[in-house]
Structure 1
Amino acid sequence: MTEKLEKDKQMKIKLLLLLFVMLFLFGCSNEKNKTDKTEAPVKETTNQTTSNDIDKIFNAALEGNIEIVKKFLENGFNVNTQNQGGQTLLMLAGFNGHTDMCGYLIKKGIHIETRDSDGRTALMYTSTGPFAQTIEFLLKKGADANAVDTKEHWTPLMFAAAEGQYEVVKLLLDAGADTTIKDVDGDTAESFAIQNKHNKVVKLIREYK
């Protein structure tokens, strides 16, 4: 029974990461503008902005193309626009480790702690990849290492541990990431690393307990 539960957890993690990729590749086709509900309303984009325009800027953020993003923002595009899944430009940039893009967006006023429809932050998106530099940058800018999503109760540390991202895990731990937080199934970041056989990550997490 225990082995089956562990296999189910591994599959759940893999499916979630696959969903991330699918949302990035196809989610922009039905974009809609909305401001961060936790912040004061921001200026809306211009009436001339089309769904195709929104596709272009979100894809540019994903690809790290600052010039395209800069052009749209200079023409009045709302930097805090979220797509249908609640994702932001910062989440897309972080997912692919585009540190310079993240810096530009933050300079332009994007909200670091905005949540997507599952309550996930840009730091969580970034934690799934081998992007230690981007993680370090976001943490220095105030990203919450102990943010917990509203769907699975996952943290940035859990995402990184599940993927075996050693350097990312270390940065999060150094930033005070809580190793004792449990998800809806009662698993911790250490559990994720064990289930996916990331032994070095398991050892690292235990050193911080």
Structure 2
Amino acid sequence: MNLFKSMLPTVALGLFVASSQAQPTHTAVKQPAQQELIDLYFAAARTGNHEVIQEFLKHGFPVDIKNHDGYTALMMASYYGHQDIVSTLIEQGADRCLRDHKGNTALMGAIFKLEWSIAKQLKNVDCDVNAKQTGQKTVAEFAKVIGQDEKLKQLLKE
């Protein structure tokens, strides 16, 4: 971990945050160093490297940054079953209702992978309020499509 810390000093993350805020929000172009940091952040969420996620967040890395597919670290950690990372991201203010480019939330990813303990953590927020108005699936509709509607009903009763 010391090697990682030396590769990711506070200054680098500070520059990332500052330059991200300075860029227009409509641009998808990122500096190569920024993209490398984003890739490391998502790799840590996908592989369950909690220590790396904590290091990023400690230095002010944007918790809800999205990758090229529209995924957030919360979505990745939920899908891959890393409950400790899910907890940390939620504690750091991760938005549970963000949707990827296909309209899926972190809760939907957890349900798809049958990660019910993570789904239980994520269900405490109603992300379906605007789903119908925007033409997106609700969690219940998603669960029904993948054959998990009964399990979701049980989860929601708890």
TM-score w.r.t. the length of structure 1 is 0.55
Do 2:65 and 2:72's aligned partners in 1 also have CA atoms closer than 8 Å? yes
Deviations 1:68-107 (CA, angstroms, capped at 9, x unpaired): 3212124965574224xx9443222111222222111111
SS in 1 for 2:8: helix
Distance 2:126 2:98 in 1: 9
Tell me what 1:147 maps to: 98
Pair member with larger Rg: 1
**RMSD, aligned CA:** 3.0
Q: How does 1:111-126 map to 2 (within 5 A)?
A: 111-126=62-77
Gaps of 5+ in 2: 17-33
Tell me what 1:134 maps to: 85
Identity level (%): 22
Gaps of 5+ in 1: 1-65
Do 1:94 and 1:122's aligned partners in 2 also have CA atoms closer than 8 Å? yes
Moved over 6 A (4+): none
The structure-2 alpha-carbon separation of the partners of 1:147 and 1:69, relative to structure 1 and needing over 3 Å to count, comes to: same
Which has more helix, going by share of residues? 2
Deviations 1:133-189 (CA, angstroms, capped at 9, x unpaired): 21111101110011123x212211111122111011110112x14245649874322
Structure 2 counterpart of 1:187, one-letter code: K
The structure-2 alpha-carbon separation of the partners of 1:185 and 1:96, relative to structure 1 and needing over 3 Å to count, comes to: farther
Aligned length: 139
Do 1:164 and 1:193's aligned partners in 2 also have CA atoms closer than 8 Å? no
Distance 2:130 2:7 in 1: 40
Do 2:44 and 2:53's aligned partners in 1 also have CA atoms closer than 8 Å? yes
TM-score w.r.t. the length of structure 2 is 0.70
